[in-house]
Amino acid sequence: MVPCTAPLWVVAAYRFPGQVWHLELLAPRRALYVLCAQKGVYCLSLDHLSRSTSQDDGDSEDSELPSFVIPVGPDACILPDASLCAFTVLEDTLVTLVQGPTQWKMQLFERPCPGEDPQPGGQIGEVELSTYAPPAGVPGKPADPRFLPVLCCVSPPASRVPHGQLWGPGSFTLKEALFGLLFGADATLLESPVILCGLPDGQLCSVALKVLVTSRSAPGDPKALVKILHHLEEPVIFIGALRTEPQAEEAAEETLPGEDVHSDCLVALGPYGRTLAIKASWDEAGNLVPELREYCLPGPVLCAACGGGGRVYHSTPSDLCMVDLARGGAPLDPTQPDEGPGGLPPLLCPASLSICSVVTLAVLSRAPEGGTELLALSAKGRLMICSLDLNSEAPGLSPVSRANTGQKIKELLSGIGNVSERVSFLKKAVDQRNKALTSLNEAMNVSCALLSSREGPKPISCTTTVGWSRLQLQDVLMATCLLENRSAFCLGQGWTLCIQVLTSSSALDLDSAGSATTYTIPVGQLSPGSQREVTLPLGPGENGTFDLPVTVSCTLFYSLREVVGRALAPSDSFEDPCVDEDPPDVLPEQEGICLPLSRHTVDLLQSLRFPGLAPPCTQAPPLRGPADPVDAFLEACREPGSQPGSQPAGPASLRAAYLPPSVACIKVSAELLRAALDDSHSGVPLCCATLQWLLAENAAVDVVRARALSSVQGVAPDGADVHLIVREVAVTDLCPAGAIQVVEIQVESSSLADVCRAHHAIIGRMQTMVRQQAAQGSSPPDLRVQYLRQIHANHETLLREVQMLRDRLCVEDEASSCTTAQRLLQVYKQLRSPSLILL
Amino acid sequence: MSHQTPPDSSCLDLWREKNDQLVRQVKVAQDSGLSLRRQQLAQDALEGLRELLCSLQGLPAAVAVLPLELTVTCNFIILKTSVAQGFTEDQTQDIQRGLERVLETQEQLGPRLERGLMELWDSVLHASSLLLDLLPALHRLAGLQAALWLSTDHLRDLALLLQTLNGSQSGSSEDLLLHLKTWSPPAEESDAPLTLQDARGLRDVLLTAFTYRQGQLGSSGLIPSLSLHEAASGLCPRPVLVQVYTALGTCLRKMGNPQRALVYLVEALKGGSALGPPLLEASRLYQQLGDTAAELESLELLVEALSVTHSSEAPQLLIEVELLLPRLDPALPLHCGTQSQAKHLLASRCLQTGRAEDAAEHYLDLLALLLDGSEPRFAPPPSPPGPCMPEVFLEAAAALIQAGRAQDALTVCEELLSRTSFLLPKMSQLWKGARKGTKGLPHCPLWVSATHLLQGQAWVQLGAQKEAVSEFSWCLELLFRSTPEDKEQGAASNCEQGCKSEVALQQLQAAALISRGLEWVACGQDTKALQDFLLSVQMCPGNRDASIHLLQTLRRLDRRDEATALWWRLEAQTKLPQKDTTWSLPLYLETCLSWIRPSDHETLLEEFRTSVLEPRGL
């Protein structure tokens, strides 16, 4: 390898309005054609540039880096089309490939010139190639394709057009036999150039240019125009041609300057290393038959190039490899007549050139000694000229002249540079893999620990508590999730804590479904014994309401993609479409491990506030929700009609007068409660113990305990008063054995919704308690069945009446419906204070 | 909802202004001849319309805005379809969205169930009787829906839609044309937002397209096609009219009404634009009438017309007739092919009608056009019905021989062989294979053998018997190695469209054998001739010419018994009902067979009849 020592100056830098997908330099016309993603084809004249810069050169002779960044504007765009995916330039035509809604379309344009002649030519021809499954993306805006199609132009050897002059760099000439075999007698007779097209779905197809004429008066039939040559079964990313036969007698004429080599082998490469080679050969009978071979090279392939002597160079992130398609040495079959061309080798052995991450590769003209020079651009941006001298493999010790010494040292230094780049790359890859393995191992340990501990406290837990705090002039109900790692393992990179907040559907609007919000918090590094706290708002929602109860579920998620994917992608230092961030087929469908931790329901009892209980010094201003429209209304109707003698009542008293609070009542047998609360609340009156139990998860429970309260006045999240009263009563007529001591829990609130929520919350606690008690096997006392039946019958009547009243409500006019509604409210009230007792 | 105040009326004006400006931009694009500039302008306008539609549909539907919204929807669909040159699933969704927006204002949308498009249309048209302002825009949208359904062959839905549009309850839904004709979209207000294409324009396009389809179906289309004339005459733009007249001409010709067809074609030619299709149709008509001179003249005019108008006519940025027709049907009178196709048609017709000199000239022109034309737009006939390139060469050679230009024919044949030499089996291999015997014989395309046959004929004309016989022998050598086509592969396989049949192979063999036999006869080597003729009769028993040549030779050799037996066979053959011999042989082969036809076979047979029957009489 010889470093490029010639000094280079940046003459100009262009900035295009989008990602550059492909460019072709048409040297004889000094024009640069560039395909910009989602924009179209731009054409820049280099003549114009050199003229302008030569003046500058004169002025700033000694400035070492004259860098002008020239933004490329829309006026340089010669072919605007957002769906353009590939193009190639021929003598006077521009061939493009367009991604239609369901098909690839090849279009032919008269080649528009830059600069002096801005008038662009028209479309000459068009043909649809093949159907494909359109990639998922926003309709109208096609998704960024991972693999772009490849176009190249193949000309027949006899073509009258002097090839290599007005053709783009992506074109080559095939020998007659292969050309005729691949493209047919028509293209051969017409001496028509052929466009070869490799599609991301693996198709390799060809279109003869002279036949591709589809004006509106003669539509082309794709079946007749497009010939499918092969299906590679992976995207085609490179098409090239090379000469595998030694140049014998023609060699003399063919080395004439300006003449190019007529290739006898066509090569196509896929990103995962699948390689196709096609040659023409004669079978035993003398018939011309295609010889097709598929090989598998080490992938992923970043780029490739065909060189002289039947060699194909292809670059992977870890190496630059060379394979030889020419059959080395003597023909394998000695009986084969010498005029028959040699076949393709059955196997390819890639030879390493020890250069990693080359993203673009070009073979320079053959060096005189028989070696080859490659121009390569590495992922890190190094532009290298690699000179391969294939003949002198054992240099040996030869006397080195002094003149050579400098050169030798340079070569060695450059070699060291290459090796160190390669070493650093490999080291990085190994490190990443080690890290990923360690992480995976820890993840396994954590998962096992969590999943195997069925009883007792989990080694990793997440507890949720609720509290109020004031944010931006608004009281907000906050949930605090505390993730504790009591296991012996570390939660490292790749773990995330997912907290899902699921609101119940609003009680007032039965149709609306509850909403779910998921918060994802990366855990970062959580070593054994440490903990992490996450606080998130539960309400009020956007419309100022609270949809209680709210369920908070915590889950640990381990992302395989994040940890393993990065290690498998060999390099993350450059963006190339070939290198997938997460290679397919390696990762399973599931992208991670999901471990549920806890589930917590936040109800009204937890979110009640008790301003009356707070110490006077820290008492918050009276909590009122957003101005209650009812209060406002009452206030308003008081003013005009207020009698001089009437008492000056505030809205509260008015409310009390006009809107008696809703009440709900739950009765529980004292015995049951005592049994349940005994262990934690011994020595405390049962009423107080019950209230403490109910408010156990509320922040105010300490005050309630300290003052031994049995009734408490609180404020619901939406600002309504909620009054909880616990008292002991005796129920006589239920049990034949005598009176039963019963604890009555009464909920009172001006807001019916809050009564419901509180009732729901209390019932929820009761259910849990009863279930626990039932598990312990306590038996209820004897009951008077007759009495129970009576109560049940009463309820039935009430329910029937409800049904009837609701039916009436639908059909009645306003006046009578008012009374019906009132009656309905009454019945509901009766229903809410049942005579049934939880025993 | 329905009584919502429109969003600030100035906003409405703004949107409207935006729509009008975009429509004007499309019109500018349409008029600018530069296709790339055009494409850019059209793309920009499309993007603009998309954005405008997004902002309109981002707000709740309101009655006051709906006419504009539907207009923008229609403009968007029209431009998108014409830029993409075809309808896609997207357009269906665009239409559906428009309909749902209308229903939203009527609070009739209900739950978003799976509603068919037709049901949506039903409810929308039902609701729109209340919204008179909406009608023009709705009819335009209906026109687009109709176009979409016509292009996707949903004729039943289409008929139902038109029936609903016309408000007619009765009548069979099948009579689509009647519905189309009776559909009269309401006139657009003069101050309405600008549109790319109004409902009447769409209806005219639909009428034309539908009649084409009808016309393609055959003679049943007579009455509808004729009524099309009235339907379209007043409103059709001139190019569409030319197309209509051409289609009518085709229709009438196929129905056996050539005189009336001619009238329409003349009308079409008066249209002045796109002369290709009517000229081609006229040539077909004259061919049917047997007026060869007129036929060839129209073909010559066609070639001329196509050579002049090679500026690529860009499609209009509108919904056009072509978009609604099944694609890629070269038989459609709208398509007249390329210049080279026309030239080939002219040349082959000349050859078929016995104008060999003209044919030869035209073929030479054609070859020059194909081989030397650096401009790729002169394409050979690519589609399967046309012959492939080697056949064009062979036809040219046959025409040259027919015109007495044997030397030129030889040149053409040599050119063909030299250009494809490397595709052919290696000759050394061929001989080796022959020596070794059975070890896999190389096969070679039929046209290679045919080339040798024609070369032989050229030598015959030049009087070089030795060369002729050797060419015929070559031809036969290759032919006996020809394998059935399905085993063929590689280079030659795509080139055998015209002569794939076993029949062609047989006839080619017979032709070569007879040709060589005739040469032997000319040298006086009757026994060798007899062998060839015998073989040819064996190879191709149905070939009468071979039998007659054999008969003549037998008589000349005075092998009376065999001759009599053969004659009896021939007699028996003539009495049999003639087998259907309508297979189409390649033109060059037909021509070649005509050269080796025995000239005086009737007298020969008559002589035989008397000579055979006389002894019986005795």
ipTM of this predicted complex? 0.71
Contact A237, A270 (CB under 8 A): yes
Give, for B13, the enclosing helix (H) or strand (E): helix B9-31
- Identify all chain A residues contacting B429, using CB atoms and an 8 Å cutoff: 282, 285-286
Which sign does the torsion angle of CA B129, B131, B136, B141 carry? negative
Give the Cα separation of B561 and B559 in Å (integer): 6
The shares of helix, strand and coil residues in chain B, as percent rounded to the nearest 5, are 70, 0, 30
For residues B567 and B431, which has the higher predicted lDDT (pLDDT)? B567
For residues B544 and A52, which has the higher predicted lDDT (pLDDT)? B544
Contact B464, B501 (CB under 8 A): no
Give the Cα separation of A343 and A292 in Å (integer): 10
Look-up of token digits 């949809």: A547
Tokens of A377: 């651009």
* A128 φ, ψ (degrees, to nearest 5): -90, 140
Tokens of A302: 């970043």
Give the Cα separation of B389 and B455 in Å (integer): 18
Give the Cα separation of A443 and A595 in Å (integer): 11
Nearest by CB to residue A288, choosing from B274, B310, B491, is B491
Q: Which of B327, B429, B493 to mutate to test the interface with A (most CBs of A within 10 A)?
A: B429
The gap between the terminal CA atoms of chain B, to the nearest Å, is 113
Q: Show the low-confidence residues of chain A (pLDDT under 50).
A: 1-5, 50-66, 115-120, 136-142, 163-166, 249-259, 328-340, 392-400, 507-508, 510, 571-587, 616-626, 640-649
Q: Residue B254 to residues A406, B226, B279, B291, B295: CA-CA distances in angstroms?
A: 88, 14, 16, 17, 17
Give, for A461, the enclosing helix (H) or strand (E): strand A460-471
Q: Is B550 helix (H, G, I), strand (E, B) or coil?
A: helix
Tokens of B260: 């009336």
pLDDT at position A197, please?
A: 92
Nearest C-alpha in A relative to B435: A285
**Angstroms from A211 CA to nearest CA on chain B:** 5
Closest CA to B94 of B59, B50, B58: B50
**Helices A176-190 & B356-372 angle (0-180, nearest 10):** 130
Contact B458, B397 (CB under 8 A): yes
pLDDT at position A691, please?
A: 82
Radius of gyration of chain B (CA): 33
Window 459-478 of A: residues touching B by CB (8 A cutoff) are: none
pLDDT at position A260, please?
A: 60
- Identify all chain B residues contacting A211, using CB atoms and an 8 Å cutoff: 379-380, 382
pLDDT at position B510, please?
A: 86
Q: β-strand A837-838 against A662-669: which pairing, if any? A: parallel
pLDDT at position B571, please?
A: 76
> Cβ separation of B445 and A289 shorter than 8 Å?
no
Residue A217 sits at the chain B interface (C-beta within 8 Å): yes
Does the pLDDT at position B421 exceed 60?
A: yes
- Identify all chain A residues contacting B419, using CB atoms and an 8 Å cutoff: 158, 188-189, 191
Look-up of token digits 């860098």: A67
Mean pLDDT on B249-261? 79
Give the Cα separation of A504 and B397 in Å (integer): 89
Q: Residue A719 to residues A600, A663, A715: CA-CA distances in angstroms?
A: 24, 17, 6
DSSP per-residue codes, B116-132: -HHHHHHHHHHHHTT-G
pLDDT at position A218, please?
A: 57
Task: Tell me the pLDDT band of B400, cut-offs 50, 70 and 90.
Answer: very high
pLDDT at position B500, please?
A: 52
Contact A183, A225 (CB under 8 A): no
Give, for A378, the enclosing helix (H) or strand (E): strand A372-378
> Cβ separation of B382 and A220 shorter than 8 Å?
yes
Structure-derived torsion over alpha carbons of residues A13, A18, A21, A22, reported in degrees to the nearest 10: -50
Task: Tell me the pLDDT band of B242, cut-offs 50, 70 and 90.
Answer: confident
For residues B526 and B400, which has the higher predicted lDDT (pLDDT)? B400
> Cβ separation of A189 and B419 shorter than 8 Å?
yes
Residue A127 corresponds to which amino acid?
A: V
pLDDT at position A364, please?
A: 78
Does the pLDDT at position B568 exceed 60?
A: yes
Task: Tell me the pLDDT band of B125, cut-offs 50, 70 and 90.
Answer: confident
Contact B442, B430 (CB under 8 A): yes
Residue B117 sits at the chain A interface (C-beta within 8 Å): no
Q: Is A366 helix (H, G, I), strand (E, B) or coil?
A: coil
> Cβ separation of B382 and A109 shorter than 8 Å?
no
Q: What is the pLDDT of residues B474-494, one digit of tens each?
A: 888 877 766 544 334 333 334
**Angstroms from B371 CA to nearest CA on chain A:** 6
Give the Cα separation of A468 and A476 in Å (integer): 6
pLDDT at position B558, please?
A: 80
**Helices B339-352 & B292-308 angle (0-180, nearest 10):** 160
Give the Cα separation of B301 and B323 in Å (integer): 28
pLDDT at position A254, please?
A: 43
pLDDT at position A39, please?
A: 82
Residue B430 sits at the chain A interface (C-beta within 8 Å): yes
> Cβ separation of B422 and A220 shorter than 8 Å?
no
Mean pLDDT on B229-253? 67
pLDDT at position B35, please?
A: 62
| Per-residue 3-state assignment (H helix, E strand, C coil) for A724-784 | EEEEEEEECCCCCCCCEEEEEEEEEECCHHHHHHHHHHHHHHHHHHHHHHHHHCCCCCCCC
Number of C-alpha atoms within 13 angstroms, CB side, residue B241? 19
Nearest by CB to residue B34, choosing from A120, A188, A285, is A120
Contact A151, A169 (CB under 8 A): no
Window 137-176 of A: residues touching B by CB (8 A cutoff) are: 139-140, 158, 160-161, 176
Q: Among the ranges A476-480, B375-379, B571-575, which has the highest mean pLDDT value? A: A476-480
Give the Cα separation of A741 and A677 in Å (integer): 15
Closest CA to A115 of A48, A50, A51: A48
Structure-derived torsion over alpha carbons of residues A520, A523, A528, A530, reported in degrees to the nearest 10: -90
The DSSP bridge partners found for residue A464 are A481
> Cβ separation of B491 and A140 shorter than 8 Å?
no
The gap between the terminal CA atoms of chain A, to the nearest Å, is 92
Tokens of B477: 């050598």
**Angstroms from A753 CA to nearest CA on chain B:** 29
Does the pLDDT at position B285 exceed 60?
A: yes
pLDDT at position B333, please?
A: 56
